[in-house]
Structure 1
Amino acid sequence: MPGEDARETARTVTGEVGGFPFLPELPARGPGADMVGRSAGMLVDVYAHLQPSGWRVADRPGLDTRRARSWLDEDLDALEEFTQGYTGPLKVQATGPWTLAAALELKGGEAALRDPGACRDLAASLAEGLRAHLAEVRRRVPGAEVVLQLDEPSVTAVLTGRVATASGYRTYRAVDRAVVEGTLRDVIGAAGATGPGGTPVVVHSCAPDVPFALLHRAGAAAVSYDAALLAERRGRAEEEVGEAVEAGLALFAGVVPATADTAAGTPSGAGRMSDPAGSVEGVRTWWRRLGLPPQALAGGVVVTPACGLAGADPEYARRALAHCVRAAGSLARDPE
């Protein structure tokens, strides 16, 4: 979310999407409130500090770790204030193990992705941190049915060997798909996210060629994606998504433009806040083309903004969230 005011943002989130509120991230506040820094602050027995080149693993916690944890505590305080008596789903999010491995540097300056042992240690530390984080959220909002989102924008680059080295002249070797899947499965399972009564996990990626089937096999209950990118896929890639949906995967479709400038450039009703049905027409069309049952559409799709909402102004972000609720309602009223 845009802005720096945790209380005002929590008020907006709980007011506009009251049926599915979430714990906001406010990266405009600076280091430690960003996606990677925030999750680095959750790690157990692994610490990170900020260098000019990015976040780097450290031997002990320092100012940057304390700042990240302080921002998170402030956000939790605000969310707790505005969810008194709330019961229902509540989403929290953290950076996934492969995006962390691609973003966090080891002491020599290269990404943890270069070292398989470091990747394993990082994933184990993240799993421990997520367990503690989820327990804290449940303590503060006792009626919450917590949904965990793992942000993995780099997972496609990890799988295809497109993560650049520190020099920028080479890329790291692609990680085997079985290793990527197994690590995600371990993190999802260790965080208590599998089995009856567990925490459903949504894996988010705004990259092209999201590996839907792999993420589902790893234990993701849903995949969050930018719908415009999926609309560009055809043939076998599109069928793979349909097969995963038929097997029980839910979709978080990023169909509402993230900023006012993007909305102004979208065709037909997709970017107009006055046309909720137009925003989800592409999802309906794609669903029909794959032959998926129309009656399953409303229950299988969550409507979200596309990536980049933190770059919007706060008023547009508020309207975008409210528009998501209306667009989702149009799916429920007219699944065909």
Structure 2
Amino acid sequence: MRSGVRGGAPESGREGAAGAKTSGRPCVRSTGERKQPVPFAPATGVGSLPGGDAREAARTVTGSFETFPHLPELPARGPGADMIGRTTALLVELYARVEPSGWRIGDHPGRDTRRARSWLREDLDALEEFTQDYQGPLKVQAVGPWTLAAALELRNGESALSDPGACRDLAASLTEGLRLHLAEVRRRIPGARPVLQLDEPSLTAVLRGHVKTASGYRTHRAVDRQLVEATLRDVVDVHDGGPVVVHSCAPDVPFALLRRAGAAAVSFDLSLLTERDDEAIGEAVENGTRLFAGVVPGTDTALLDPAGSVMGVRTLWRRLGLRPGLLPEAVTITPACGLAGASPQYARTAYAHCVRAARSLADNPE
């Protein structure tokens, strides 16, 4: 990997997720083999939770989703625990630091990088403690290459999205970091079958040229769809033999592009769908793509009964003309987005509600 990103690190001192040394091997490329299916469970979380106690978060996740836990994210702890900072902790040969305007690529691993890696280790330690003897799917999350490029700044203060070379380097660094991260999860929790979730809330803005420049008065040029798809495919392929979910709680999720890029599942806010999405969703389901339907609000609110929460999923299925019995095989129920802005009590209630809503869908798919 070249260090062409402005502020990138030199070739020496290679470090990956949580400070692990890398082998110096090139990033994993696609083998062209079809990924082996993993039995997704009926319900799981998106990623973030309120508070800052890693053990309590791991207890909540593993207690709520006994057949599909995930690695919790706790952004309330501050910079480095947020989704961008956390993902910079995974990068190989690239580092980032906090500036008043956000995260900026830097020359060496400073205090912000060390803090982000420390929190990631703490979260992994807690999850490992609460998943002793666990066997089954386990989800870990990271920001995808295009949302990361839109959010990270170069030395000149502009988004990495403004520099095609920087985007390439960033995607390559992320890919290698994810390879190391997934290997560590397998080592810590041998019975787990990791599911990788790539968070891409800015993907539609990247495709449409809606990402603002540093001045705020202009926007960056739209990125070619074929390049977006190819880059995503390269990152997806790092999880060779394992499924990748792409999550976006923004409107107009590009279902067809994500399916072609190799995503085994797409995670989205069900309330943001329109009938314009029907054709792409139907084609995705018919081609084996699983839907992670976000039906439970991400902030404190009065919840419907479980059956009412999944009424929108049943309505979608009828519009698509799909067989009702396929629903439990094709849909996982989640919150609409992360729960970082919720109260701890609501977060626990929302997770339990996801499980009950998924059970309602399985018991009565009509």
The answer to whether TM tops 0.5 is yes
Which of 283, 288, 300 does residue 243 from structure 1 map onto?
283
1:170 pairs, out of 204, 208, 218, with 218
Quote the residue 2:360 is aligned against: 330
Residue pairs, 1:214-225, within 5 angstroms: 214-225=257-268
Q: Specify the alignment match of 2:351 in structure 1.
A: 321
Deviates more, 1:67-76 or 1:305-314: 305-314
User: Match of 2:221, SS?
Assistant: coil
Instruction: State which of 67, 70, 76 in structure 2 corresponds to 1:19.
Output: 67
Alignment length, in residue pairs? 318
2:233 aligns with one of 177, 185, 188: 185
Counterpart in the other structure of 1:202: 245
Q: Which has the higher contact order (CA 8 A, sep 6+)?
A: 2
Does residue 121 of structure 1 match 2:151? no
Give TM-score scaled by structure 2 length: 0.86
Q: How far 1:201 moved relative to its partner?
A: 0.2
Residue 303 (structure 2) pairs with residue 256 (structure 1): no
Which residue in the other structure is 2:200 paired with? 152
Q: For residues 52-91 of structure 1, what are the structure 2 equivalents within 5 Å?
A: 52-91=100-139
Q: Are 1:9 and 2:57 matched, yes or no?
A: yes
Moved over 3 A (4+): none
8 Å CA contact 2:196–2:239 kept in 1: the answer is: no
Q: Which runs of 5+ in 1 are unaligned?
A: 265-270
Paired residue for 1:132?
180
1-side partners of 2:320 and 2:338: how far apart?
Answer: 28
Amino acid at match of 2:219: T
Q: Does 1:292 align with 2:340?
A: no
Match of 1:211 among 254, 259, 274: 254
The alpha-carbon deviation at position 49 of structure 1 amounts to 0.3
Give the Å deviation of 1:192. 2.6
Does the aligned pair in 1 maintain the 2:244–2:265 contact within 8 Å? yes
User: What's the TM-score, normalizing by structure 1?
Assistant: 0.93
The one-letter code matched in structure 1 to 2:57 is T
* Cα deviation code 1:71-120 (max 9, x no counterpart): 00000000000000000110000000000000000000000000111000
Q: For each residue in 1:167-221, what CA deviation from the matched residue of structure 2 results, as whole angstroms up to 9, or x when unmatched? A: 00000000010000000001111x234xxxx110000001110000100100100
Query: Which segments of 5 or more consecutive residues in structure 2 lack a partner in the other structure?
Result: 1-48
Identity %: 73
| 3-state DSSP of counterpart to 2:201 | coil
Match for 1:234: what amino acid?
E
The structural deviation recorded for 1:308 is 4.1
Is 1:104–2:159 an aligned residue pair?
Answer: no
Q: Measure the CA separation in 2 of the matches of 1:182 and 1:16.
A: 36
- C-alpha distance in structure 2 between counterparts of 1:52 and 1:17, whole Å: 37
